[in-house]
Structure formats: structure tokens, C-alpha cells
Structure 1
């Protein structure tokens, strides 16, 4: 286990692949940790140098008192990439990780040569929706929001599997302060203007059964970037890398190869 000392916070991270491999960074969703990407790793091309990390308030990273800002989450990713030497990387972000990807690409083009915006938006939900969820989680812990979240996140078919319960349990083990802190960061973020100014290769991925960031939101967001691509994974919800890992990895592989990055 590796911990990055970033001054005001320690982040848990993991690097896989050869030192001279093409750099790829993954940022996961609210209520998960870097294990979110485990299902797709065996399907990706050999030779990539992959950085995964637990954002603040999640996994084995520190859990400062919230609320957090999206600026702080972007700055965390920026400092971690500087520390580990990940430059000119393809940055793959899912949900809140996709917001981090947009913010980082707008701030540090030297770090991001291309982005994958998976199951995300330039703005996700409304302040009122997030205020209500944060209040529920604060008063009743994550048990108060887990069932509604799982309904939005996963297809009906996947919720009948044994694997589903592992992801539900992982969500419930997220520190409340970390979940509500990141929820506040999502609530306060509107990236329509900075994302529309981006000029880099971009791939949008959506799940047909995603009730958290529906396909039209993902399509609209990635469509702000000239020359971007969009793909819909049918039968998958908010975490298609979990429900359809082979198909998800195939999309990433094709995109990486198109950038000369695999």
C-alpha cells in the first residue's frame, strides 16, 4: 500500500505496469475506492502504466471534515500526478471522477492528453437534490441512502447477482464525512463553460440503465468538446466497468490506441 503525502492530506494510491509504460489515470465514483477498476484491468492492453487512487474521504485515504470543494479534489489529483510523474496521461474518470477529469484537463493540459468521461456530466444533479441526500446521510448514515442509490446505479439483472452485494457493502463502508464531503463538491460544480473550452481527444461512455447520470447527460457533456466520441453500453447502469467489464475495456482500448497510447 502506498500513501502520498500531499501536505494537507494523505492519499492512498496504486501504480501498476512498467515504468516506461503509457500513463493512464483512473478516478472512481462516489462511494467506491480504487477497486472499482479491478474488473477491467485484465482486459486492457499490456504495457500501460496505470495510476489508481482513493480520493479524499474514501478507501484508505484521509477523511478530513467536509464539506469539500471540487477545486480541492482536482488539486489532489494534480498533486498526486506531479508526485508520481504521471504527465501527458489519458485520464479516465467515472461520475465524480469524470468531474475531476474535466476540472483537471481545464487546469493542467500538460497532465492530460485525452480524457474519458464515463457516466458523468458537466453538472450532476441540483443543489437541492444533493442537500437532501447529504441531510439523509448525516442523520441516518449511508443506510438511509443506499437502497435508492443502488436502484439508480445498477441494472435490474445485476442487482440479482451475488456480486451486487459486494458493491453495496463497499458503498456502506464509505466514511459518512467522506461521502457527504464529496457530495457537497458535486453539488457546487457546474463545468459547462470550462468543459466547452476544452480542446483535446475525449470519449464519453454511458450505461443505458444509468439512473444517476443518464445517457443524454453524458452525451450532452462530451458533446461540448469538439471532435469527441460517445458510446452507449446497453444493459449496464452507472458502473459499466463492473457490469460489462469486457465491453468497457474494449472501448478504452480502442480509444487508447487511437491516441497512440497503447
Structure 2
């Protein structure tokens, strides 16, 4: 296990592939850990350096007291990439990971040559909505929200499979403090203005059955960035890399190839 000690937080990460290969950094969603990406890895081309990490308050990373700011989450990604000596990487962010990608692209354009905004937006929900969720977790733990989250995360067909139990368990076993902290970060984030100033190559991916960031919301964010490319994965919800890993990997591989990253 690899741990990056960044001072105020310690991040668990995986660093796989040749150290001198083109780097792809993956940032996962609220309530998941770096295993979110497991199913797409066998379908990605060889010769990549794949970095995945657990954001603060999730997985095996440390869990500082809530609330967190989006600036802190962006700073964590920035410091991890500096720690690993990464430059000119492609950053793939899903949901809150996609918000981190947008903020990092504004703050440190030297780190990113391109980004993938998956099932995310420049602004997700309202402060009031997120406060209701924070209050529910404070009162009854993540379990209080788990069934409703599964409905937003996955298509009806996937929710009828036995695999759903594993993802529900992943969710409820995240630290409540970390879930609350990251919820507060999302609540306080509006990147509509800053994202509209970005020009780096961008692929936006939506799931047709996504109940958290519906396709139109993802499309609107993609439209802020000139020459971005938007794709919908049919029959998938908020985590299309889980439901449709082969199709997700195909889109990602084509994007990497288009921009000379494979």
C-alpha cells in the first residue's frame, strides 16, 4: 500500500505501469474508493502509468474533521501529483472527482494536458439539498441514505444484480465524517465561470440513467468548454465505469489516442 503524507492529510494511492509512461490520474466519486475504476483497467491499452487515489475521508486515506472545501480537495490532488512528479497528465474525474478536475485545470494547467469530466457538472445541486443530506448522515449514518443513493447511482437492471450489495457496502463503509466533509465541498462549489475559461481538450461522459448528474447537466458543463466532446453511455447510471466498463474504456482509449497519450 502506498501512502502520500501531505502534512494535513495522508492519501492512499496506487501507481501502476511504467514510471516514464503517459500518466492518467483517476479521481472517484463521493462515497466510493479507488476500486471504482477496477473494471475498466483490463480494457485500457498497455503502456500507461495509471494513478488512482482515495480522496480525503474515503477509502484508506486519512479522515480530517469535516467540513472540507473544494479548494482542499483540489490541493490534495495537486500535491499528490507533485509528490509523484507528474506533468502533462490526463485527469479523469467522476462526480466530485470531475469537480476536482475542473478546479485543478484552472489552478495548475501545467499538470494537465486533457481531462475527462464523467457524470459531473460545474455545479451539482443546491446548498439546501446537500445540507439535508449532511443532516441525514449526522442523524443516521450513511445507511440512512444508502437505498436512495443506489437508485441514483445505478440503472434498474443493475440494481437487480447481486453485485449491487458490494457497492452498497462500499458506500456505507466509508467514514461518515468523510462523506459529510466532501458533501460540504460540493455544496459550496460553483465553477460555472471558471470552467467557461478553460480551453484544454475535454471529454464529457454521461450515463443515460444517471439520477445524480443527468445527461443534460453534464452536457451543459461540457458546453462551457470550447471544442469539448460529449458522449452518453446508454443503460448506465451515475457510475458507467461500473455498469459498462468496456464501453467506458473504449471512449477513454479513443480520447487518449486522439490527443497522443497512448
Structure 1 length as normaliser, TM-score?
0.99
Aligned residue number for residue 172 of structure 2 = 172
Per the TM alignment, residue 227 of structure 1 is displaced from its structure 2 partner at its CA by 0.4
Correspondence for 1:116: 116
Give the structure 1 partner of residue 134 of structure 2: 134
Match of 2:20 in 1: 20
Structure 2 residue runs of 5 or longer lacking an equivalent are none
Once superposed, what is the RMSD of the aligned Cα atoms?
Answer: 0.4
Give the 4+ runs in structure 1 shifted more than 6 A.
Answer: none
* 1-structure distance, mates of 2:220, 2:213: 11
Indicate the residue corresponding to 2:249 in structure 1: 249
Cα distance in 1 for partners of 2:141, 2:171 equals 11
Equivalent residue for 1:33?
33
Does residue 48 in structure 1 map to residue 48 in structure 2?
yes
Unaligned 5+ runs, structure 1: none
Note the C-alpha offset of 1:217: 0.4
Please list, as runs of the form range in 1=range in 2, the aligned pairs for 1:202-221 lying within 5 A after superposition.
202-221=202-221
- TM superposition shift of 1:95: 0.1
- C-alpha distance in structure 2 between counterparts of 1:88 and 1:164, whole Å: 36
Q: CA deviation at 1:222?
A: 1.0
Q: Distance in 1 between matches of 2:213 and 2:35?
A: 21
Report SS of the residue matched to 1:157: helix
Q: Structure 1 residue 205: deviation in Å?
A: 0.1
How many residue pairs match? The answer is 262
SS at match of 1:32: coil
Task: Give 1:19 shift.
Answer: 1.2
Structure 1 position 85, deviation (Å): 1.1
1:225 aligned to 2:225?
yes
| Pairing 1:201–2:237 present | no
